[in-house]
């Protein structure tokens, strides 16, 4: 584990990898398709080989995202293994950034306490952190009061993230919007075909609103603002909540970077209806200007559409319902403005 800022200066020397865009590594497969297989038995073998002093014996699947397969070890630890090659820059970025970022934030994020090295058995790095117990916001059945609680706590958390004063060494390691999520025109182009494919699942007014949003985003230019510290991929699956809507933590920081604040603020449109969204922005301490709001809504719709498309292919009905609901919220927000 990197324990001081010297590690960050050393990391800058090989920072090319962690500055790579995960969108820049081409593949004919869907972006969520695994190309690096991993199961519980193999994961436990790798963990026990590299950390034999712990004597761990129990392991179970914990979750699976686009980038990593995650296992629960001894009920207390979460070990993340890359599941596709475009995720490798994300893993490296988390290993460098999270230990330095965690002390700057007042909410829970995973911190790599066990760092696996590449070996002939598994030629990629992996890592383990203490588990953050919680339920994905996407799958949390919150009533209006609980969702308001979540909105307030999440808005405050994003405010602190964007306002945190980064050491120069950490700022040097972080790329600036490597996936071009800060360009509304790029997301507009990607949103149109996704929205068209999902149109049969959406109310007609939502499909029409998303098409209109995409057209507006194509002509949108963001105002010039200072780049802030971003999670970079803040959507419903990466926010964990406790009972009654309290924020448990934010996970999956592989796309963390510097960039425009509206990238992270897209979560306000996918996660919350109007009243809760107003609570979110009040806790954040600022509202977006029209161009930023258009960008945030476009990115929110694009991420939700990607996640819905993935859920559809994997026959994940719960996740599909959550992402369709997110798209409806974005459509409503666009029509209400």
pLDDT band (50, 70, 90) for residue 70: very high
- Alpha-carbon 269 to chain mean position: 15
Same domain, residue pair 91 and 236 = no
Are 117 and 188 contained in the same domain? no
Euclidean distance between CA atoms 185 and 291, whole angstroms: 12
The number of helices, as runs of H, and strands, as runs of E, in the chain is 12, 10
Reported as half-sphere exposure (CB side, CA atoms, 13 A), residue 14 has a value of 8
Residue 66 shares a structural domain with residue 211: no
> Do 141 and 126 reside in the same domain of the chain?
no
Q: Do 233 and 268 share a structural domain?
A: yes
Q: Note the pLDDT of residue 297.
A: 98
User: Cα Rg for the chain, rounded, in angstroms?
Assistant: 19
User: Same domain for 168 and 304?
Assistant: yes
> How many domains would you assign to the chain?
2
Q: Is 241 helix (H, G, I), strand (E, B) or coil?
A: strand
Express each pLDDT in 163-202 by its tens digit: 999 999 999 889 999 999 999 989 898 898 998 999 999 9
Domain that holds residue 121: 5-130
CATH number of the domain that 145 lies in? 3.90.1200.10
Residue 199: CB atoms within 10 A of its CB come to: 15
Tell me: do 315 and 273 sit in the same domain. Answer: yes
Quick one: pLDDT at residue 324? Answer: 98
Give residue-wise pLDDT tens across range 226-272: 899 999 999 999 999 998 999 999 999 999 999 999 999 999 999 99
Residues 176 and 297 in one domain: yes
Do 41 and 139 lie in a common domain?
A: no
Give the model's pLDDT for residue 29: 63
Task: Indicate whether 62 pLDDT > 50.
Answer: yes
Q: Which two tokens stand for residue 32?
A: 């969520």
**Which of residues 90, 113, 130 is at a domain's end?**
130
Q: Kindly state whether residues 205 and 94 are assigned to the same domain.
A: no
Q: Per residue in 192-213, pLDDT tens?
A: 899 899 999 999 999 999 999 9
Q: Are 279 and 151 in contact (CB under 8 A)?
A: yes
Report the CATH number that the domain containing residue 69 is assigned in CATH: 3.30.200.20
pLDDT confidence band for 34 (50 / 70 / 90) = confident
Q: Which of 130, 159, 176 is the last residue of a domain?
A: 130
Closest CA to 327 of 270, 274, 276: 270
Q: Tell me if the pTM is above 0.85.
A: yes
Where helices occur in the chain by DSSP H, the ranges are 5-13, 40-50, 88-101, 144-163, 168-173, 184-198, 204-217, 262-265, 267-271, 274-284, 290-313, 317-336
Residue ending a domain, among 130, 149, 171, is 130
Judge if 58 and 197 occupy the same domain.
Answer: no
Q: Do 264 and 192 reside in the same domain of the chain?
A: yes
């Amino acid at each position: 584990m990197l324990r001081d800022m010297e590690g960050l200066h050393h990391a800058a020397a090989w920072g090319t990898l962690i500055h790579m865009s995960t969108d820049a590594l081409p593949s004919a497969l869907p972006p969520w398709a695994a190309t690096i297989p991993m199961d519980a038995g193999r994961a436990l073998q790798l963990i026990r080989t590299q950390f034999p002093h712990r004597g761990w014996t129990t392991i179970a699947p914990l979750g699976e995202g686009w980038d990593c397969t995650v296992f629960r070890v001894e009920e207390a630890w979460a070990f993340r293994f890359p599941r596709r090659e475009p995720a490798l820059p994300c893993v490296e970025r988390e290993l460098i950034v999270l230990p330095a970022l965690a002390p700057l934030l007042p909410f829970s994020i995973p911190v790599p306490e066990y760092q696996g090295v590449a070996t002939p058995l598994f030629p990629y790095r992996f890592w383990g952190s203490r588990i953050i117990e919680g339920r994905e916001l996407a799958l949390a059945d919150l009533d209006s009061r609980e969702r308001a609680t979540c909105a307030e706590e999440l808005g405050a958390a994003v405010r602190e993230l964007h306002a945190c004063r980064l050491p120069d060494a950490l700022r040097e390691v972080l790329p600036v919007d490597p996936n071009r999520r800060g360009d509304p025109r790029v997301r507009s182009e990607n949103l149109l075909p996704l929205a068209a494919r999902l149109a049969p699942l959406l109310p007609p007014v939502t499909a029409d609103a998303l098409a209109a949003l995409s057209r507006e985003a194509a002509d949108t230019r963001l105002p010039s603002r200072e780049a802030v510290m971003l999670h970079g991929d803040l959507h419903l699956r990466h926010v964990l909540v406790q009972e009654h809507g309290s924020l448990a933590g934010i996970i999956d920081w592989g796309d963390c970077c510097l960039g425009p604040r509206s990238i992270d603020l897209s979560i306000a449109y996918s996660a919350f209806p109007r009243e809760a969204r107003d609570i979110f922005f009040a806790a954040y301490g600022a509202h977006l200007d029209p161009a930023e709001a258009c960008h945030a809504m476009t990115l929110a719709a694009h991420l939700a559409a990607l996640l819905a498309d993935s859920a559809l292919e994997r026959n994940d009905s719960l996740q599909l319902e959550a992402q369709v609901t997110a798209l409806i919220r974005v459509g409503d927000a666009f029509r209400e403005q």
